[in-house]
Structure 1
């Protein structure tokens, strides 16, 4: 491949990193839809203008192919098949990014070296935006800096990766102030995020570097010392500040930790029942039926378990097997091994891989092996063009639906993708009459039998029609699907009491009983 074409692919990968990290970290499906079209167009360009495709036939290729294909295939048996298809669109850019990366492996390090700059700019811009009330919701959560990720914990992980890259770039023989500035900004960003897990990992990483890297020992010890001093000062004098109070509360209140253990425990029951996965959003829809505590989460806060819940045991073991393979590789550098280890550890306590940016970064640090040249036939080029056209249609439909869902325009969301269950649930909550309520509930239950609010709506519609038998049937089903919803019980008892009183007024003792 010519140098100009390699540079073009390099710039597209930069664009992918910038777009995904700038727009919610690439968490939203609409971002994935845009990314999919752009990256697939690049791949079609490669196919049309080149007769050779480079692939690395290793565990990474198998794992990433299974991941992407898995989200589409689970549509066949998912809890909600149409929402599962949205999951396929969401994770499609992961495979496409990896495929382009395979064409320019020599540019990986250049991409990695850009990350600290991205992180520093994100931190500085979001910190300034945080000072203005109108922008606070975009860059912070409950007073915690979240960058453009809109989630402090994943932003903190991103900044930790940036800090490690810039720290390892420090060279006493050359000008080092830029790397030191990036490291300092990253440390400030990590603190302002209030992420307790990442703060612990940061201390571990700096200690690790100071022990094993003699050249960087003064800088890592200085960074670690300043970090500890800041935390200590806040511990003794800054308890009233929100972030300091949050950090100090770690020692006094472990409710978040125990809550996540509860998620894990309940998730294991679902894994035993659904070893091939339940599709994207499947865990969210079915969790209320098996949970042993009061909570409602979209993700289980453990990416290994989340992948199993979504697409099955095999893809999860392949993904983490690929990471482990790189971690134990003889060719991997100390820096890359440490960063991979940090990402892996954090992913076991949060939902990092739901953000495209983190997944893209993960791909940059995997070791590629067994390169092969694949000749591209004319039929393959035609198939690539057809795939691009099909993806434009699918991504436009699903992307616009997700965009309007995020914006709160649920009617338009359903207009673009009529199978968007989440949007229909929101419309159901706002239904103004029994007829509209029943119509929406039927539409939801047609594709997903596990939505308690839809059965509850069917019960209310039956009650409005005076059909007490159907009211009891659907209300009991709603209670069975959401046993921790207190309102369902009170509504059930209130309606039954009302019915009994009406029967007694007409001396219908049999019906009252």
Structure 2
């Protein structure tokens, strides 16, 4: 009876984990809110059913709490406090998930891992099915690569590889496990992820060496993958998926781009050692970038933690990872999964996907921690905090889902500090008053929004406040320095000032604005000098040349 109850309890949690994987891998904040609600209800249910709640102080729960608390504290000094709070919501379900894991034995937690290969196979099956449905294909395939429900190929591939590790270490070889391995490897090849393919070859070779049951299968699959991928690429000329591993190179633009992100992020870390809040890096990169790119995440999870919430949580996360891989007695499956996540996280933003976070915390050691006697007041505190988290997530679910559905005005009404919603509305603003109101709202909490400065500059120009126009346009250029349209627009606005003061016969002031126009070509040259060596080696090159008609206009002013 008890065994059946335990299996039912783990089955329900396996379903939760699978649902998160199917819902974009938990990338969007609204999925985190759903997960918080689901995990909160589940925690109440399972502890009530078992008539006890188990708590252990260990590195897993400490890391989960520190990440959550630091995301909450970062709101106080974040580049954008409104968006930083969404980072707090994003990491909230992890604490509840860890509390749930502490209610389970090691055997039960190992059973949860089976949800990874199962959900991976389901995702691949859905992707293959919908490949033939043009209306929805683009939701699963991006630029010819399979992104699955995660809609991001690299992290999707990592999830599939984790599934292979679970199958080959937790389940004895059989026709079913062989078929599961084949399907998951097919999924990895479909993603075209070069880094994960290299790790796949490495890990499947290790499995072939140490696990006789999978030896022939792994050697055969790796041989077919390498030879087949080469033939496919040679025949079709398509190296976006099956044969993409053949394009591995340290000179590849994608890899150089990551080096560029890290190089530039270093200066932001020096400015904000305690982090700049969730999305802070994205809003600040215009001020520190030395190449043409726009990326929400820095493509290195440990650097991302430093950028978002500072050094302390990043060092703790790295310490927990290293401790469990090298110094903690956990099974080989857990060590291999942590190794995979740790290595791949150096090159991507895997931990922005809740599914990967859940997998990371799922394989940590819990029962070996120092237990604490759960008194009635402690139990009430846990329940109270959980209930508060569920209530907060339930409310914020509505603006977050509204934003995802494109209902930006509703999202803003429900959460007035939703900067991303206001930026979209600002782009769609039909009147000067509407645009200025939105821009003012954004700039109250985000001093790095180029679009808001553009709107304010235009409003000032329309009101013939050219001094204010220059002030705002300078900030727009500062925060979006590689966008040539900013300079073209600046010339247009400055020309208004020149015409205005020329009509008033105020030659002296008109000359001031003429000189500012004449300085713009030199400023473009300065941007070329600012571009780093890495910035010149990536695919997207700086296009810092004004259109011919603008150059002609400037020439006529000289």
TM-score normalised by length of structure 2: 0.86
Measure the CA separation in 1 of the matches of 2:37 and 2:144. 36
Q: Which residue of 1 aligns with 2:335?
A: 337
Q: Which residue of 2 aligns with 1:155?
A: 156
1:136 Cα offset (Å): 0.8
Change (3 A) 1:268 1:2: farther
Change (3 A) 1:300 1:330: closer
Q: Is the 8 A contact 2:197 2:245 kept in 1?
A: no
Q: Which residue of 1 aligns with 2:405?
A: 407
Q: Which residue of 2 aligns with 1:113?
A: 114
1:338 Cα offset (Å): 2.0
Measure the CA separation in 2 of the matches of 1:381 and 1:337. 32
Q: Is the 8 A contact 2:457 2:472 kept in 1?
A: yes
Measure the CA separation in 2 of the matches of 1:45 and 1:151. 34
Alpha-carbon displacement from aligned partner over 1:309-346 (angstroms, at most 9, x marks no partner): 11111111111211111111352233332222112111
Q: Which residue of 1 aligns with 2:206?
A: 208
Task: Name structure 2 gaps, 5 residues minimum.
Answer: 512-558
Alpha-carbon displacement from aligned partner over 1:114-165 (angstroms, at most 9, x marks no partner): 3222211211121111211111122111221122111111111111111122
Change (3 A) 1:244 1:180: closer
Q: Is the 8 A contact 2:501 2:510 kept in 1?
A: yes
Q: Which residue of 2 aligns with 1:395?
A: 393
Measure the CA separation in 2 of the matches of 1:389 and 1:124. 37
Change (3 A) 1:334 1:7: closer
Structure 1 SS opposite 2:205: helix
Structure 2 SS opposite 1:328: helix
Q: 1:112-151, aligned counterparts within 5 Å?
A: 112-151=113-152
1:434 Cα offset (Å): 1.1
Alpha-carbon displacement from aligned partner over 1:261-314 (angstroms, at most 9, x marks no partner): 000111111112211111111111111111111111111110010111111111
Measure the CA separation in 2 of the matches of 1:389 and 1:63. 21
1:209 Cα offset (Å): 2.1
Q: How many residues align?
A: 510
Measure the CA separation in 1 of the matches of 2:439 and 2:201. 51
Q: Is the 8 A contact 1:444 1:454 kept in 2?
A: yes
Q: Which residue of 2 aligns with 1:276?
A: 274
Structure 2 SS opposite 1:87: helix
Structure 2 SS opposite 1:53: coil
Measure the CA separation in 2 of the matches of 1:164 and 1:48. 34
Measure the CA separation in 2 of the matches of 1:508 and 1:117. 75
Moved more, 500-509 or 420-429: 500-509
TM-score normalised by length of structure 1: 0.94
Q: Which residue of 1 aligns with 2:286?
A: 288
Alpha-carbon displacement from aligned partner over 1:26-78 (angstroms, at most 9, x marks no partner): 00000111111121223334555666432332222221211121111111211
Measure the CA separation in 2 of the matches of 1:351 and 1:357. 12
Q: 1:83-102, aligned counterparts within 5 Å?
A: 83-102=83-102
Structure 1 SS opposite 2:110: helix
- Which has the bigger relative contact order, CA under 8 A and spacing at least 6? 1
Q: 1:431-450, aligned counterparts within 5 Å?
A: 431-450=429-448
- CA RMSD in angstroms, aligned pairs only: 2.2
Moved runs in structure 1, 4+ residues, more than 6 A? none
- Match status 1:22 vs 2:4: no
Measure the CA separation in 2 of the matches of 1:91 and 1:36. 9
Q: Is the 8 A contact 1:284 1:298 kept in 2?
A: yes
